[in-house]
Amino acid sequence: MLDLTPQDWTAIMLSLRVALVATAFALPPGVAVAWLLARKDFWGKSILNGVIYLPLVLPPVVTGYLLLLAFGRKGPVGAFLAEQFGIVFAFRWTGAALACGVMSFPLMVGAIRLSIEAIDRRLEDAASTLGANGVWVFLTVTLPLALPGIIAGAVLAFARALGEFGATITFVSNIPGETQTISAAIYTLTQVPGGDAQALNLVIVAVVLSLAALIVSEWFNRRAGARTHGN
């Protein structure tokens, strides 16, 4: 039986909220970018593809530092949002959601792109010949067929967001109750004498949550493959 303290539960609930918000806000642009990469050829496509996948190869602290420069209180984007709309990201849980969204975005786009590319384009062409415009074709043909893959990508991004650490702690620090997610809480406990047992409890929670998300993502991936192949 896990012995979780109130502080542990706070970190767990904050991680779930951050991951959910990050996934929800990343999903619409993720679908749009995945469709663009899957269905369109244009100048700079390789550059766009590289930029999207850059967070996967950059050290997470670099991504977090770039977010701090851009969205910090003195950053160009952060200062504008704070002055005009009162939106602050730096050292807030919203900033943790932003960092998690950026770090999980490539995995989401990759999964959705594969799902869209697996769709038989003749189905889309048939809808076009019947008079449907591009938007209607996407909404009535592409989106329904790609939906299991989209859900799989969203769940995979959620799992990635749950485990994010480097970019988050660099951008929003490690503030208990505000930005201390499961990963940050585990890191803190490993630095405290006698905190290993409590850290292990959170590690088990993190493993269970991530494994459950991966299993769900794999199930939807199988559904996506079955639908696009007509099984």
pTM score? 0.88
Sign of CA dihedral 105, 108, 114, 116: negative
Q: Which two tokens stand for residue 136?
A: 């209607």
Sign of CA dihedral 62, 163, 186, 203: negative
Please tell me the distance from the alpha carbon of residue 21 to that of residue 98, in angstroms, as a whole number.
Answer: 9
* Banded model confidence at residue 228, pLDDT cuts 50, 70, 90: low
Per-residue pLDDT tens digits for 132-176 = 777 888 888 888 888 888 998 999 999 999 989 999 999 999 888
Q: What residue ranges define each of the domains in the chain, with the CATH number in brackets?
A: 6-228 (1.10.3720.10)
Per-residue pLDDT tens digits for 173-219 = 988 888 999 999 999 999 888 888 888 989 999 999 989 988 888 88
Per-residue pLDDT tens digits for 206-215 = 999 989 988 8
Sign of CA dihedral 151, 152, 155, 157: negative
Q: Shortest CA distance to 209 belongs to which of 150, 153, 166, 163?
A: 163
Close Cβ partners of 108 (under 8 Å, ≥ 6 residues apart): 23, 26, 27, 30, 34, 153, 154, 156, 157
